[in-house]
Structure 1
């Protein structure tokens, strides 16, 4: 078992070559806890209750391609952009404007997380697609920390369908995503296929911690996941 962010126990995400081998889905164990809190943390906002976690994600609107971003051609299939690392994430709805670190894997195969000393930054899983490429790009961030209090993704649970996320890339392009849905999953039921699985669209997944705070284990019991599609 690896140590999650801030020394919390967590099961690893592992990679084998370019493909993610999600052992957690097979073993039924929880993922890393992207948080370290004070003894009496402020509860982060949670997604609206009532989502069927076993239901498929809602399909993006067929007219989701923004003409300004599609060269004025109107609705069309998104061909995806060339690979380019993200450098900044902006979510005006929850007042996030943060630089993005590129994350890899540790020697044991688990995915790195942003260091707690930089809990105000987001991290991109660099062995997956970059934002704007075909496939699901994954950004993760802390919800809070004992030193800083609320961290970069503290308010992630406030987002709702239709909200916009902008990613500035290393090639200076800006990619815009529309939120499809926000869900809270128990860490023992992390939806690995929905987050890391293949997609024929340019998708974005934002991941942090949420749900009930377990004082005995000093960890949140859920993961908040934002599912978004490029417009």
Structure 2
């Protein structure tokens, strides 16, 4: 598996994704959106960061507070330069950018998934309801589970998507979880993305 440096990830992703990860949606409901309060720094201070783990591909993501428990597939860039997405028909499937940082290693790892499909809510339908301090667990091929703590949950429009903030270089192990969000149009679909910012706070045997 090819692994590129964190700086290169930021450059490639910003160029390829432009204003976020665009996932097809049929708007089968009204998924929750994060409040402005969830995007502000935690008044209780940062959770202590855990040491980085060796690189190892992820296999599953769990977010207990929003009932996510889903396998992970590798995602690459499409021929047009955008990040590919999991098959739309697979409601309970997420993906990770496999040319980049593996979750738990130093840098910014990226996970993406659909908010809904023609059958209803999909894997990250409730992502916008996540709160600061919540836990995200990612199982890895090396039989370790990387445990991340949520620092912020924000929603961005396509016109104001902060590529550098979302995909930029990180000196510690960080995670971004992304799905569709914001306003909705039948012509263009969702107008933005919900983004969860988290950092590694623990590791344990899977």
TM-score (norm 1): 0.76
Provide the C-alpha distance between the structure 1 equivalents of 2:102 and 2:196, rounded to a whole number of angstroms.
Answer: 16
Question: Does the 8 Å CA contact 2:25/2:190 hold for their aligned counterparts?
Answer: no
Worse-superposed segment, 198-207 or 100-109: 100-109
Instruction: Give unpaired runs (5+ residues) of structure 2.
Output: 202-206
CA drift at 1:104: 1.1
Partner of 1:227: 197
3-state SS, counterpart of residue 177 of structure 2: strand
1:120 match: 92
Q: Which has the larger radius of gyration?
A: 1
Q: Deviations over 1:20-64 (max 9, x none)?
A: 432379xxx6444213215xx210001013577xx8x66994552
2:109 matched to 1:137? yes
3-state SS of 2:150 partner: strand
RMSD: 2.4
Which residue of 148, 157, 164 corresponds with 1:186?
Answer: 157
Matches within 5 A, 1:46-85: 46-49=33-36, 61=45, 64-65=48-49, 78-85=50-57
Query: Map of 1:198-213 to 2, 5 A cutoff?
Result: 198-213=169-184
Give the drift of 1:190: 1.6
Q: Distance in 1 between matches of 2:44 and 2:88?
A: 34
State the alpha-carbon separation in 2 of the partners of residues 195 and 149 from structure 1. Answer: 28
Cα distance change on mapping 1:155 and 1:33 into 2, 3 Å: same
Partners of 2:44 and 2:152 in 1: CA distance: 10
TM-score for both structures, normalised by structure 2? 0.84
Unaligned 5+ runs, structure 1: 1-16, 66-77
Residue 44 of structure 1 corresponds to 31
Q: Does 1:106 align with 2:78?
A: yes
The answer to whether the aligner puts 1:156 opposite 2:127 as a matched pair is: yes
Secondary structure, aligned partner of 2:36: coil
Superposed CA offset, 1:168-192 (max 9, x none): 0011100101000000000222221
Partner residue of 2:64?
Answer: 92
Tell me the distance in 2 between the aligned counterparts of 1:183 and 1:92: 19
- Asked whether the 8 Å contact 2:153–2:196 carries over to 1, the reply is yes
Alignment length, in residue pairs? 193
Q: What CA distance in whole angstroms lies between the structure 2 residues aligned with 1:32 and 1:136? A: 15
Partner of 1:70: none
